[in-house]
Every structure is written in structure tokens, then in C-alpha cells.
Amino acid sequence: MRLICDNCDTQFEGEIGSKCPNCDSNAVVECGETDDGEMFEIFINDLKEEKQKELLEFLGLKDAKEGNFDVFPIAEIPRGE
Ligand SMILES: [Zn+2]
């Protein structure tokens, strides 16, 4: 799986528990980022204002922050094989 070092932001392939090849840190987490372009992320701000309101209403949220949609995507679409 794709990992990212929390310490120096190096990305590499490995298993959870691996050490960072760059700085030897154990602070390594699974990489959820899209730097490699494998996931297409859609954020709430990508929607028209009217749709943003509809979505929040649909989810029963007062604002995007409440669902953490100010930082996380509302949808992720994997790249076609
Ligand atoms: Zn590192």
C-alpha cells in the first residue's frame, strides 16, 4: 500500500509499521492523498451554491464544517482500470 511519512512527507510503497526510507521515522500512515492521481475527489465547494445547500440539507448538517466536508471530499471516484 501507499504510505506517507508524517515526519518528512515522503511517500513510498510498504506496509503499515514500515519505517520511512528517508528519515527512518515510525510515524508512517496510509496515504489518502491523490498525488498519484488514482482518486478523483469532489469537494463541496466544487458544487454550485444551491447544490451545496441541498446536500447539507440532505445530510442534516448545518454547515460543511459539521461533516468535515470543509477538509474532506464529499465523493471519491477511482480511476478506471
Ligand atoms: Zn520520513
Taking the centre of ligand 1 as the mean of its atom positions, its distance from the CA of residue 35, in whole angstroms, is: 17
Look at residue 48 in the predicted model and tell me its pLDDT: 96
Look at residue 80 in the predicted model and tell me its pLDDT: 77
pLDDT tens profile 8-50: 989 999 887 889 999 999 988 887 654 556 788 899 999 999 9
CA 15/CA 34 separation, integer angstroms: 18
Taking the centre of ligand 1 as the mean of its atom positions, its distance from the CA of residue 12, in whole angstroms, is: 10
**Most confident region among 32-36, 52-56, 67-71 by mean pLDDT:** 52-56
CA 67/CA 65 separation, integer angstroms: 5
Angle CA(75)–CA(42)–CA(4) in degrees, nearest 5? 80
Taking the centre of ligand 1 as the mean of its atom positions, its distance from the CA of residue 30, in whole angstroms, is: 13
Taking the centre of ligand 1 as the mean of its atom positions, its distance from the CA of residue 1, in whole angstroms, is: 16
* Residues contacting 43, CB < 8 A, separation 6+: 69, 73, 74
* Residues contacting 15, CB < 8 A, separation 6+: 1, 3
Q: Is the pTM of this model over 0.85?
A: no
Residue scoring higher pLDDT (27 or 58): 58
Taking the centre of ligand 1 as the mean of its atom positions, its distance from the CA of residue 73, in whole angstroms, is: 26
Listed by start position, the domains of the chain span 1-33, 39-81
Look at residue 34 in the predicted model and tell me its pLDDT: 47
